[in-house]
Structure formats: C-alpha cells, structure tokens
C-alpha cells in the first residue's frame, strides 16, 4: 500500500494523544509520558512514509522520462 506508513503513523499519533490525555486526566505520569513518546514515534513514521512515497514517485517519474 502506497500510504501504509503514513496511515499507520497517523493512527499511532492519535493513539498516543489519547494515552497522553488520559494519563494527564488520571494523574498518571507514566501513561502521559508513554503517550507522548508514541505520538512522537507516529510523527516519525508518518514522515518516513512521506519521504519513501516521494522518492518512489520521483524514481517512477524518472523511469518514465527515460523510457519516454
């Protein structure tokens, strides 16, 4: 799937945000911290997915131009 890492990264960000907020409401610093880490991991995964997709698109376009 072309957007797999981007979608999974977004989902991880949402899950992390929910965890962080739940931890904040419950006064559970460990849960809040865990949520922040998961949200950051999700951002990284999304950005990596975007970069991979853009590189793949560029290579595909280059191949089309060469085949031309």
Task: Please state the pTM of the whole predicted model.
Answer: 0.83
Integer Cα distance of 4 and 46 in angstroms = 9
Instruction: Compute the distance between CA of residue 16 and CA of residue 36 in angstroms, rounded to an integer.
Output: 6
Distance CA(8)–CA(38), nearest Å, equals 12
Q: What is the DSSP string of 29-64?
A: HHHHHHHHHHHHHHHHHHHHHHHHHHHHHHHHHHHH
pLDDT band at residue 2 using 50, 70 and 90 as cut-offs: confident
- Is it the case that residue 26 has pLDDT exceeding 90? yes
């Amino acid at each position: 799937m072309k957007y797999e890492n981007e979608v999974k990264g977004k989902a991880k960000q949402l899950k992390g945000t929910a965890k962080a907020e739940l931890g904040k409401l419950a006064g559970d610093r460990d849960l809040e911290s865990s949520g922040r880490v998961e949200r950051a991991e999700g951002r990284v995964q999304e950005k990596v997915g975007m970069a991979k997709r853009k590189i793949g698109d560029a290579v595909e376009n280059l191949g089309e131009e060469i085949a031309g």
